[in-house]
Chain A
Amino acid sequence: MRELRPTLDKSLKDVKGTLVRARDPAYREAKHEVEAFNAAYCAVLDDGDLEDWPEFFTEDGFYNIVSRENFDYGLPVGLVYCEGKNMMRDRALAIAKTSMFGPRYLRHYMTNTRISEIGENGMIRAETNYMLIEVLSELPSGRIHQAGRMQDVFETQDDGRLLLKSRVAIYDTLLVHNALVLPV
């Protein structure tokens, strides 16, 4: 079973190793793949097509949106907490079909991708900054809804595709504006 406390990324403490790995062709390749993955991921969410969102995860995938405050103190509570792709399907269904919320546009940006580890069987550990812009009918100029970073674990499938085994979104913007209706 997964540890409740998200672990800190040890590679942050290894600047030299990080810079060396950045030049490693395998890491460059992995970074490229992760970026392509995230571009597709953002496009699906930005499009509002929530029911496709679980398809980025393995069946046993884990997803959590946790505040930096909770993360830093080792507290597990997240805005969204999904154990397994079924819970993600349920969230997609519930939000898409039953939830009432005002119309909005969301735009996701994911940058500063770092590959911290490439493991056995195509496991990739990556960290990426993210920003979410929210545009509401009463706020057409938009605003930053969330800024933070993703801690991801990818699993390479038999056909070569990456899927998320775990994605923990850690947001710095502690005070959520009103509500967070879609995943990040």
Chain B
Amino acid sequence: MTTLPGSSDCPRCQKEMGIEMDWFKTVKASTVLDEGSVATEVDGLRVALWAVDGEIYATGNICTHAFAYLTDGHVENGCVECPLHQGLFDIRSGKALRAPVSKDLATFAVKQEDGYVWIDVNTPGPKSEASPAVTSAIGTDDRTLVVVGAGQAGAETVIALRKLGFGGRIVMVGAEPHPPYERPSLSKGLLLGKRKLEDALVFEPDQAEELMLDLKLGATVVAIETEDKTITLEGGESLAYDILILATGARPRELECTGSDNTEIHYLRDLGDAERLGGALRNAGKVAIVGGGFIGLELASAARKLGAEVTVIEAQSRLMTRLLPAGPANHLADIARENGVEIELDAHIINVSDKGVGLSDGRVIEADCIIAGIGAVPNDDLAGPAGIRTAERGGIIVDMVSRTNLPGVYAVGDVAVRQDHSDGPMLRMESWQNARLSAERAARHITKLNPGAEDDPWFWSDLFDITVQIFGHVNADMPVVRRDGEEAPVFMAQDAIGRVRCVIDFGDPSALREAKTLMADGQPLAADGSGARNSEEDDMKHQPIESRFVWPTDGLVSVPDWVYTDKEIYDREVERIFHGRTWNYVGLECEVPSPGDFIRSYVGPTPVVVSRDEDGEVHVFENRCSHRAAEFCRELRGNASEFVCPYHEWSYDLKGNLAGVPFRRGANGAGGMPTDFNPADHGLCKLNVARRGGVVFASYSDDVESFEDYLGDEMLKDYDAVFSGRKLKLLGHYRHTIMGNWKLYPENLKDPYHATLLHTFLVTFGLLVAGNKSAMICDPKGRHSTMASAKSDKAVSEDNKKEMRAYRDGMSLSDKRLMDFVPEFDSPWSVTMQVVWPNLIVQREMNTLGVRQIVPNGPNEFTMIWTMFGYEDDDDEMTRHRLRQGNLMGPAGYLGIEDNEAIKFVQDGMLNSTPARHTVQLDPDVPAGTSETLISEAAIRALYQHWREEMGL
């Protein structure tokens, strides 16, 4: 690396092409081309010269995030990685490509003359694209968006919103008198006085004005009225909002013990704290820090720099027991100790006083400055009274797009607790990155964009002159592999199958790069912790399924083909879904009305028998003789007093118990079963049975919830409308194969988008009109759903007709009876198509009723068994009405034909073309779940959210 002083001998002020240019002669071009990067100083500016593919470029040399020379960083593919926190810039354009950097580098015009590189500090480089004017959209939207909280998360939300084209008014209310600033340097540069507030501000100078942000600082919000959509400020002023962003952050948890009320204890949350604490530390001789987390260690580092004696007091037996595995946590403790910090572990605080901190073992840690860093409490006080859902442990609950439970109300940053679906885990993260990402998710949702790729968590801490970084998801129990780099170790935390899920780095960029490559690779490490899994004979088949089938990083908006075409995935579905914790439809009670009645059926692909015993109980067992596996029951249905396997005449009772084994005792005293053969151990494989409303379900799982809990209240309502207790009358079956993956069928019924486009019949004859009353309802887990519509007499509007290419006007039915709807259900809907995951569709198409049972035959084909029914109290005309309306559905139904064909076309497309992904992006407003609109794929996304959890993929 060559650093040349700049410009004393440079001629200035040349005029070229009428533009004011400021050319400075710098270093020899050959030096730049040889070395790849050269740091120099021009006219007081620190400039980096780069050689990329034989061309020379000039940029600013200081990272826009923190003070580091980029020429000390790693250059690859025309990009430079900052040596400090691995932010990434494009050298040609200066573009900030990867967090934590968000501001672009300055670029400078470059020319070569006389073998020297000349640069012009007043003219940007040619490749620099002017960022699009964010303000052009302002005024196009009459909504007002109010951000409560003027911290980093709130400010990032505003920046992202404007970048994404939000055109409404934006008001930001903040309690502190300062414009939004980033907090990480509070415990570092700002504390030590090395950085000024201006360096930490989120907005660049004049940016707030450019964003047309109405910034109300020093104002405290005292109430949110969600009914009126207003917030009230201290002093009584009220502000109306259409969209509300809660970015209220968190406050330090207070230390409570004897003496804590009348002893000065320092906390660190805002600039005021930092200024006070900085002053105190400069005068302190002995500092006691309560809490051995990152804040505590960063403050310990700062205090040591100022020459104080420092003791860190930690209640647990090691540092960061909840956050980190022991290896990296102990390494951190070692670093602190090497830097002269005393660490007291297992230390319980009894009191605090002017003398210091008293411990339970009687000792007093002497201190003239006491600091507590024992965690933070989310500022969610405004939420509860406003009806915004909060978590028991504090924080405002949001979904994957930062929405709260109330429409138009979002929460971002430290105060937000993310829960992706109603019974999913809750995660609250306090990090610079989370402030930024949660803000971006909210902004993307408000501007109706897809959620975007999910970045792995990332956190950094600067302490004792090293930078500690944590990439990825980690918990204290993960096994850890340590690698020693040249300068520092890197720790890799692994998941259950040995994949690297988190990298914890102590400042060795090359070791970090290697570890991150292993993490991105998604392959389990070898037993010795090496990543050497690339030899020829170590073929893909030896890798666990989770490593070979990796869901796309852009989340639920795309579904990869392998979900539908791979045999291994299919086998796992049978194991985890059909044979897992699910209730599977097996038949109607009216198919087995009397004792001894039986039918053949299936759970997933597995043949079972449904039988009614002498006591009227219904039993479900596998159709497989426990002796030699013969599928003994061959008739579709019948009546029997027992089941006898034809091969060796083993017999079973109607409950599936083994009743008789011919020649069990042998013949003439010879042969036969061993004396300890116990028939009770050799019954048929029995499944658990649930019945509701005349329908029989079976489950392989012993710990599955009740059928009612499985379906949930909302889904039960639609289910019970059909199975209300009215006795069912069997009308007959259809059986057909569909050459497609079985999931395409439930998907078809979670895809209201197709209904008016594919099914021209519905539209032509007025059964379904875009814009008429309809709904696509999902259960909270995303597995079950109801597609519902209410019959309308409205004609199709001209606008909607144009959208539906297949629309054919001027046709009407000769026999109108097909469309008659005889009201007979306790439901606002005339049509409900309900998916009861995984294998049942309940069809209520006006008065034609049926259940469709999915029987998968491998990944590329399934059989559908339809059982059509009416009610016992139907008269002949009602039965005929159901049969006539049956022309809509089934393998020859007006709608059925089209769905079957479409599903086949989809599978053909996947099997015959280049494997790729499906796009399911419609309706970004609802990331997954129930949507208000039919032009939506949110229900499909919800299905795959659930599927991925069940499959562990």
Interface, chain A (partner B; CB < 8 A):
1, 4, 65-67, 69-70, 73, 75-84, 86-87, 89-91, 93-95, 97-102, 138, 174-181
A96 to B777, CA, bound (A): 33
Whole-angstrom CA separation of A121 from B682 in the bound complex: 66
Contacts of A177 in B (CB 8 A): 736-737
Asked whether, in the complex, the Cβ of A77 is within 8 Å of the Cβ of B868, the reply is yes
Given A87-B887, A99-B898, A100-B760, A176–B806 Cβ distance below 8 Å? no
Contact status A98-B876, CB under 8 Å = no
Is residue B362 within 8 Å, beta carbon to beta carbon, of the partner chain? Answer: no
Q: Is the Cβ of B901 less than 8 Å from the Cβ of A179?
A: yes
Contacts of B735 in A (CB 8 A): 67, 69, 174-176
User: Which of B519-527, B688-696, B725-733 lies at the binding interface?
Assistant: B725-733
5 closest A-B pairs by beta carbon, nearest first, are A77-B732, A75-B732, A176-B736, A86-B814, A86-B815
Q: How far is the CB of B856 from chain A (nearest CB, A)?
A: 15
Shortest CB–CB separation between residue B617 and chain A, in angstroms?
Answer: 24
A174 to B636, CA, bound (A): 11
**In whole angstroms, how far apart are the Cα atoms of A78 and B880 in the complex?**
11
Q: Considering the chains assembled together, what is the distance between the CA atoms of A176 and B736 in angstroms?
A: 4
Q: How far is the CA of A183 from the CA of B896 in the complex (A)?
A: 15
A to B CB contacts below 8 Å, 19 in the list:
A69-B636, A70-B732, A77-B731, A79-B892, A80-B892, A81-B886, A81-B887, A83-B815, A87-B884, A99-B760, A102-B904, A175-B735, A176-B736, A177-B736, A178-B739, A178-B904, A179-B891, A180-B891, A181-B897
**Chain B 772-816 residues near chain A, CB threshold 8 A:** 806, 808, 811, 813-815
A83-B884 contact in complex given A99-B761, A175-B863, C-beta closer than 8 Å: yes
Question: Which residues of chain A are within 8 angstroms of B908 by Cβ–Cβ distance?
Answer: 138
Q: Is the CB of A69 within 8 A of B806?
A: no
Are A79's CB and B891's CB within 8 A? yes
Asked if residues B898 and A76 are in contact (CB atoms below 8 Å), the reply is: no
Contacts of B880 in A (CB 8 A): 4, 83
A176 touches B730 (CB 8 A): no
Interface check B116, CB cutoff 8 A: no
- Residue with the greatest number of chain A CB neighbours at <10 A, chosen from B636, B884, B892, B900: B892
Q: How far is the CA of A162 from the CA of B722 in the complex (A)?
A: 44
CB distance B886 to A178 under 8 Å?
Answer: no
Question: Is the beta-carbon distance between A90 and B898 smaller than 8 angstroms?
Answer: no
Q: In the complex, which residue of chain A has the Cβ closest to the Cβ of B818? A: A90
Q: Which residue of A73, A75, A89, A179 contacts B897 across the interface (Cβ within 8 Å)?
A: A179
- Please, which residues of chain B bring their CB within 8 A of the CB of A178? 736-739, 891, 900-901, 904
Q: Does B663 contact A (CB under 8 A)?
A: no
Q: In the assembled complex, which residues on chain B have CB atoms less than 8 Å from the CB atom of A180?
A: 891-892, 897
Beyond A77-B731, A175-B737, 12 additional contacts (C-beta under 8 Å) are A69-B733, A75-B733, A80-B887, A82-B887, A83-B880, A87-B815, A87-B887, A98-B806, A102-B901, A102-B904, A138-B908, A178-B900
- Residues in B with CB closer than 8 Å to A75 are 730-733
B887 to chain A, nearest CB (A): 6
Report the separation of the CA atoms of residues A178 and B906 in the bound assembly, to the nearest whole angstrom: 13
CB contact between B894 and one of A76, A78, A94 (< 8 Å): that residue: A94
Check B732 against A67 for contact (C-beta < 8 Å): yes
Contact at A81–B884, with CB atoms within 8 Å?
yes
Q: Is the CB of B890 within 8 A of A79?
A: yes
Q: Please report the C-alpha to C-alpha distance between residue A1 and residue B808 in the assembled complex, in whole angstroms.
A: 35
Q: Considering the chains assembled together, what is the distance between the CA atoms of A95 and B887 in angstroms?
A: 11
Residue contact B879 to A76, C-beta cutoff 8 Å = yes
For A67, give its contact among B733, B806, B883, B904 (CB under 8 Å).
B733
Check if B886 sits within 8 Å of A99, measured CB to CB: no
Q: CB of B175 within 8 A of chain A?
A: no
Across the two chains, which residue of chain A brings its CB closest to B869? A77
For A102, the chain B residues whose CB sits under 8 A away are 901, 904-905
Nearest CB of B to A112, in Å: 24
The answer to whether A100 touches B734 (Cβ under 8 A) is no
Within 8 Å of chain A (Cβ to Cβ): is B99? no
Q: What are the residues of chain B within 8 A of A78 when measuring CB–CB?
A: 732, 883, 886
Looking at the assembled complex, report how far the CB atom of A48 sits from the nearest CB atom of chain B, in whole angstroms: 15
B residues in contact with A82, CB < 8 Å: 887
Task: Please measure, in the bound complex, the distance between the C-alpha atom of A23 and the C-alpha atom of B148, giving whole angstroms.
Answer: 98
CA distance A83 to B882 in the complex (A): 12
B867's closest neighbor in chain A, by CB? A77
B739 to chain A minimum Cβ distance, whole angstroms, is: 6
Q: Is B902 an interface residue (CB 8 A)?
A: yes
Contacts of B887 in A (CB 8 A): 80-82, 87, 91
B734 touching A79, Cβ below 8 Å = yes
* Cα distance A106–B891 in the bound complex, in angstroms: 16
Contacts of A95 in B (CB 8 A): 894, 897
Chain B residue with the shortest CB-CB distance to A101: B901
Output the least CB separation between A181 and chain B (Å): 5
Q: Is the CB of A179 within 8 A of B736?
A: yes
Distance in angstroms from B755 CB to nearest chain A CB is 13
A176 touches B732 (CB 8 A): no
Looking at the assembled complex, report how far the CB atom of A96 sits from the nearest CB atom of chain B, in whole angstroms: 11
Complex Cα–Cα for A138 and B904 (A):
11
Least CB distance from B896 to A in Å reads: 7
Beta-carbon contact of B886 and A90 below 8 Å: no
Compute how far the CA of A65 lies from the CA of B815 in the bound complex, rounded to whole angstroms. 19
The answer for the CA separation of A55 and B908 in the assembled complex, in Å, is: 37
Whether A81 pairs with B883 at a CB distance below 8 angstroms is: yes
In the bound complex, how far is the Cα of B905 from the Cα of A83, in angstroms?
Answer: 33
Asked if residues A97 and B808 are in contact (CB atoms below 8 Å), the reply is: yes
Which residues of B (720-771) have their CB < 8 Å from a CB of A? Answer: 730-739, 758, 760-761, 764
Interface residues of B in 606-638 (CB under 8 A from A): 636-637
**A86 vs chain B, min Cβ distance (A):** 4
